Amino acid sequence: MKAQRGHAALLTSTALLLVGTLLLPGQAEAGPRRHREAALHGGTGQGDTGHGAMLPDPADLEPGDGARAAMSRLVAEPGSVLDAYAPTSGGGGGLWPDAGPGPMLAATGDALPTGSVSTGRAGAAGPVAPAAAPVASPAGPDPLAYGPASPDLPLLDATTLQHAIEAWVGPEPLRGLRSIPAAVADEKRFDARAAVRDFYAARGFAPLWIVDGGFDGAARSALARIDHAAEDGLDLRATPVTVPHGGDPAALATAELSLTEAVVDYARQASGGRVDPARIGPSVAVRPEVAGPAKVLAALRDAADAGEALRGFNPPHRGYLLLRAKLAEMRRGADMAERGPIPAGPALKPGMTDARVPLVRARFGLDIAAAGGDGLVYDTRVASAVADYQRAHGLPASGVLTARTVASLSGGQPKRLEDEIIANMERWRWLPRDLGARYVAVNIPDYSLDVFEGDRLVHHARVVVGKPDHETPVFSETMKFIIVNPYWNVPLSIVNKEMMPKLAANPNYFEDHGYEVVQRNGETYVRQPPGDSNALGRIKFMFPNKFSVYLHDTNARSYFGREDRALSHGCVRVDQPFKLAEAVLGRDRGWSEARVESMVGGAERTVNLPRPVQVHMNYFTAFVDETGQLRLRDDIYGYSAKVRAALGLVG
C-alpha cells in the first residue's frame, strides 16, 4: 500500500514538473531562453523588473501542441514517462542519478552553464538560482485528475482493533462462585480472553492475521488446519471464522478476532482442554498441560508454517497417530457401511465365503483390497475384529458372525466405533508429550504392560489390575527403585474391611496367617514379612504416588491365565517380574534377569535404578496393534462412556 501511495505521489510530482516545463515551448523561441537565462544568472532580460523577478507574458502561458501531447502521454502511459526520469544503473541512493542535469532541465534539452547550479553531488555546490515569481496555473482541468486512481484498501489500525478486543473481553465477572457451573465457565472465558488482550497489548494492538485488508499467508495456513480439525476428533463449531472480504476496519477487526479465537480453541482442545479428567473419576489423576492463549499465539506468530504449528498441539505419540489414521480409514469406508443393515444369513466362521463379508469389513475399517480377490472370504483378520467387537459389547467373544452379532452391527455401529476411537484419542491428550526415553506403559483394560525405548517395544507382559470397585488409578509417575524380598504393608482399608471381621472371629488370625503387628509413631500397622506366601511375591517396583499403588510380583500366579484379570485391590500384579526388572534396570548396565532373581531370599533389599523410568498407567479401550488392526477392550471402569458423554458423542 505504501508503494501504491509512493507511486501516485511520483506521478503527481512528475505531472507538475512536466506542466512547468512543457508550457514554456509554446512561447516564441527567444522568450523562454531569455527568461531561463535571466533566472539562472540573475540578469535583467526582457520583463526584468529590476528585483530579480520575472513576469511572463500572458501569451506565453498558452499550452502548445507539445505540451498537450506530453500531457496526453502522461495520462495514457504514465510508466513510460516515469521511465525517462528513472535513475540509471550505478546511480546514487536518491531518486535521481548523481551525475547529469536534473530531470526538468534534461526534458527541455537546454544545458546549464558550467558551475551555475549544484550538481547534486555531496559536497559540490555552485551559485543558487534566485527564486522565480509564482506562475499562475494554466486554464483548464487539473492535470492530476488524469492520473491513475487506486483507492487504498481498508486498513485495520491499532485503535480499532483495541476497541474491538476490549468489547470482546467484556467486564470481569463475579469470582468465587465455584458452586455455580455457569459462573465458573464465565471466569474461564474471561481469563482466556483477557490473556488474548494482553498478548495484543504487548504488540501495540498490531494485527496478527490481517494485512492489506485480508488474511495473510500465516492466517490462511492456520485456517486450513482448522478446516481439518475433525481429522483429530476436534469440534470447533463454537468458534467459526469470519473471512475478510474488504470492508471497513471494524469488519476486519471482527475477522482478526474470529481467527484468533479459533486457533486458541483448537490448541486448547488439541492439548487436552476439551475434557477435564477430574470429572471422569477420583482415580483419574492426570492433569494435561493445556496450552494457554499467549503460548498458542506466540508459537503461531514465530512459526514458519502456522498450520503445522497448530497441528503440533495434538499428541505426537505413535498410538495416537495410529488411531487417527484408523479414524480416517473408517470414515472413508462409511459410505459402504451406511448403505443399510447387514442382511441376515448363516453364521460365518473363518474360511467361509459370503456376500456380507465386505459389509462386515467396512464396519471395522478393514481394507478390502488388502484381503485380495473380491473380499468375500471371512478370514482370520475379520474374525479377530468381530471377536474384539463381541468382547466389547457383551457378546460371546467367539469370532463367529452370529445372528446376535449381525443385529448389533446393524444398529449404527460405524458411528459408535468412530466415537470410541475419538474418546480414546482424547485420553492420549492426557499423557505428557514426552513419555521418556525408556518408559513403562500399563493399559488397564487390556491387562497388559509394555516397556518401550522410544517407539521400540522391548518387553511385554500380562498384568492383573484392580477390580471395578477398587480401580487401578490413571496417572504418570517416575520409577526410582525396586525392592527385592519386600514386606507388604497392608493398606488400612484392607485391614478394616477384610481383616478386622476375621480377627473378631479368631483373635489369633494375624499370627496364624504370618502377619506382624507393629507400632510406628503411635500408629499400629499390619505387615506381611518376605517369603513365598507374601502377597507382593518376591519383588516390587516403586514409583511413589498418592495412591500407594505400584507394580509387583504375586503369589497367585494362576490369575494370569484368566481372560478377565480385574482382580486386585488396585495395585498391578506383573507376570514375568524379573524380566521386567532387567528391562528397567538395564542389561547394558549389568542387570540381567538371572542376577536380579539371585537376590531372592533373606532380608529386604533395595536397588536404585541407574536411570529413572517413567511409568504411565493408561486406560485405552481402543488401540491399533502392530498389525494395523483396531482392537477393542471392555470399558471395565466405565471411563470411556464418561469421556464420550463429556465430548457430546452419546445419543
Active site residues: 552, 571
- Grid cell, residue 532, equals 513365598
Spatial separation of the C-alpha atoms in residues 119 and 104, rounded to whole Å:
13
Given the C-alpha cell 448403505, which residue does it identify? 339
Cα–Cα–Cα angle for 51, 55, 58, rounded to 5 degrees: 170
Spatial separation of the C-alpha atoms in residues 605 and 591, rounded to whole Å:
15
Spatial separation of the C-alpha atoms in residues 378 and 392, rounded to whole Å:
20
Question: Residue 326: exposed, middle, or buried by beta-carbon count in 10 A (0-12, 13-18, 19+)?
Answer: buried
Spatial separation of the C-alpha atoms in residues 539 and 604, rounded to whole Å:
9
Tell me the C-alpha to C-alpha distance, in Å, between residue 150 and each of 7, 110, 141, 436: 10, 35, 20, 59
Q: Note whether 552 and 577 are within 8 A (CB).
A: yes
> End-to-end CA distance of the chain, in Å?
53
Q: Note whether 504 and 520 are within 8 A (CB).
A: no
C-beta neighbour count of 408 within 10 angstroms: 17
Task: Identify the H or E element spanning 456.
Answer: strand 456-466
Written as one string, the DSSP assignment of 397-452 is ----B-HHHHHHHTTTHHHHHHHHHHHHHHHHTTS-S---SEEEEEETTTTEEEEE
3-class secondary-structure state, position 161: helix
Spatial separation of the C-alpha atoms in residues 158 and 237, rounded to whole Å:
29
Spatial separation of the C-alpha atoms in residues 131 and 54, rounded to whole Å:
10
Task: Identify the H or E element spanning 226.
Answer: helix 217-227
Tell me the C-alpha to C-alpha distance, in Å, between residue 179 and each of 186, 237, 280: 13, 28, 18
Task: Identify the H or E element spanning 613.
Answer: strand 605-618
Please name which of 110, 106, 98 lies closest in space to residue 40, comparing C-alpha atoms: 110
Given the C-alpha cell 507539445, which residue does it identify? 66
SS3 string, 65-97, reads HHHHHHHHHHHHCHHHHHHCCCCCCCCCCCCCC
Across 607-639, b (16+ Cβ under 10 Å) vs e yields eebeebbbbbbbbbbbbbeeeebbbbbbbbbeb
Please name which of 294, 79, 90 lies closest in space to residue 199, comparing C-alpha atoms: 294
Spatial separation of the C-alpha atoms in residues 543 and 612, rounded to whole Å:
9
Spatial separation of the C-alpha atoms in residues 362 and 418, rounded to whole Å:
12
